[in-house]
Amino acid sequence: MASQLTEVVAVLSVFISVSSALPSIELVYHNYNDLTSALEDLNSAYPAMTHLYSIGESGEGRSLWVLAIAGDTPNEHKRLRPEVKYVGNMHGNEVVGREVLLHFAEHLLVSYSTDDDVKTFLDSTRIHIMPSLNPDGFEKGFEGNCTGLIGRYTKNRIDINRNFPDYFEPDDEEREAETLAVMDWLTQEKFVLSANLHGGALLANYPHDNMEPAKLQEYVPLDDPAPYSACPDDDILRYLALVYSHNHLTMRNYTETLCGSPNPGDGFIDGVSNGADWYIAKGTMQEYNYIQSECYEITMEIACCKYPREETLGDYWDQNKVSLFEYIRQVHRGIKGIVTHASSGDPLSGASVKVNERWTDHTTTDLGEYWYVLLPGEYDVTVSKDGYVPQTKTVTVEGGLYNTVTLNFELEFPSGVTNLVPSISLICFLFLSIRSVL
């Protein structure tokens, strides 16, 4: 881990080469109409690199805008090109992420033609940036309100970050329009890496946020309300959190993470924390991403004040611009590949990809793709699908970005079993043949 942290710290210099000039989008707060106009302007200025779309509407009917950015074909998925995302302002009164993401979007676009690192990233990745998941709440918040709750909730006074289906404590609660929009979005796109930006604290927070209720009760007699709840991929998630905190200008500083608290125990070593170890939370978005969508998501608390004065936005941009870039580039670590049928070569969707003994698995897309962000080391990777013979391969993952190992699999039917399902190519041939006759 020490060598990995050294690598994390080393990348601090990477983004410095990018122009230090402030983005042309003014560093001020943008209400819904202003935000919409700014996103439309970026889309108009960079039509070949951007795709502006909405994943739905808020409770009050405002569009939930997303700006997709890529070196080419930003409006569609390309095979084996990973999809990543940033989401801001899910608590309407936590506003710094909203503005930082807007400027990050423009920063990527402006820098594409001048910075090799940005170009390499956008030529190999599609990034989706949603500045505001709670535009209704933002309209109710007010500048200078550092600790209050006004604007936090949806139209129905629901906390979006407690409204997702929870793996540990299933419920039948009604989902908000914003929550449902995200859930549907996650079925439309196969995201590999994500982060959501919050305010009111200073740290990078990673899953799990919750744990089995029976296990949690074991801590009650010990008066320990915040037990560590490790994921099967705890090593990766903690590393990702450290990437953000160590590239942030102040987050890795324990004193800064106190956010003015006189209690020395309120800070965070290295600026990171396991979610449950901070406090137990049910129904969070990062938990849903990880468990239900196989997407690594971290919650970034990037401002001690939830709604700081407008004149401080430039400072927050400077603090976060490197970490935003370095974090999302981590998608280019580990392994990726295509799973196909050995005989026909057709892609196999829904195949399970397991690494070592981790109980989580990643499933292949309709194109047979999979991605698995991993730290350097040797891993046994097993791919399985009902009706096929499982296959295991051993792979060595090296360090460094853009060093992802391509590991493809061709699955076969058990000996003596004939494929009764025609291949896609055969179906197309038969369809065209029948059509020509008719």
What local confidence, expressed as pLDDT, does residue 416 receive?
Answer: 63
Smallest Cα–Cα separation from 412: which of 391, 381, 382?
A: 391
**Can you give the residue ranges of every domain in the chain?**
2-332, 335-411
**For residues 342 and 34, what is the distance between their CA atoms, to the nearest angstrom?**
53
Smallest Cα–Cα separation from 57: which of 134, 164, 151?
A: 134
What local confidence, expressed as pLDDT, does residue 8 receive?
Answer: 52
Say which residues have a Cβ less than 8 Å from residue 50's Cβ, sequence separation at least 6. Answer: 42, 43, 67, 68, 69, 74, 109
Annotated active-site positions, please? 301
**Vertex 334: Cα angle to 117 and 193 (nearest 5):** 70
Bridge pairing between strands 63-69 and 83-88:
unpaired
**Vertex 392: Cα angle to 387 and 396 (nearest 5):** 150
Q: Provide the residue-wise pLDDT of the chain in tens; the chain has 438 residues.
A: 555 555 554 444 444 444 444 348 999 999 999 999 999 999 999 999 999 999 999 999 999 999 999 999 999 999 999 999 999 999 999 999 999 999 999 999 999 999 999 999 999 999 999 999 999 999 999 999 999 999 999 999 999 999 999 999 998 999 999 999 999 999 999 999 999 999 999 999 999 999 988 787 777 655 565 689 999 999 999 999 999 999 999 999 999 999 999 998 899 999 999 999 999 999 999 999 999 999 999 999 999 999 999 999 999 999 999 999 999 999 999 999 999 999 999 999 999 999 998 888 899 999 999 999 999 999 999 999 999 999 999 999 999 999 999 999 999 999 866 554 455 554 554 555 555 545
Distances (CA, A) of 383 to 73, 116, 187, 405: 30, 36, 22, 16
CATH number of 2-332: 3.40.630.10
DSSP string covering 228-280, please? ----TTHHHHHHHHHHHHHHSSSTT-HHHHTTT-S-GGGS-GGGEEEHHHH--
Return the exposure string of 155-170: e unless at least 16 CB atoms fall within 10 Å of the residue's CB, then b.
beebbbbbbbbbbbee
Smallest Cα–Cα separation from 326: which of 392, 219, 246?
A: 246
**Vertex 142: Cα angle to 140 and 144 (nearest 5):** 160
User: What tokens appear for 424 in the block?
Assistant: 């896609």
Smallest Cα–Cα separation from 137: which of 148, 123, 124?
A: 148
Supply the DSSP symbol for 340.
E
Smallest Cα–Cα separation from 84: which of 71, 73, 70?
A: 70
What local confidence, expressed as pLDDT, does residue 17 receive?
Answer: 41
Instruction: Please measure the distance between the N-terminal and C-terminal CA atoms of the chain and give it in whole angstroms.
Output: 66
Half-sphere exposure of 397 (CA within 13 A, CB side): 22
Residue 309 CA from chain centroid, whole number: 28
CATH superfamily of 335-411: Carboxypeptidase-like, regulatory domain (2.60.40.1120)
Distances (CA, A) of 335 to 82, 195, 240: 12, 20, 16
What local confidence, expressed as pLDDT, does residue 7 receive?
Answer: 55
Half-sphere exposure of 131 (CA within 13 A, CB side): 29
Q: Are residues 196 and 244 in contact, defined by beta-carbon separation less than 8 angstroms?
A: no
149 exposure class (CB count in 10 Å sphere: 0-12, 13-18, 19+): middle
User: What tokens appear for 88 in the block?
Assistant: 């801001």
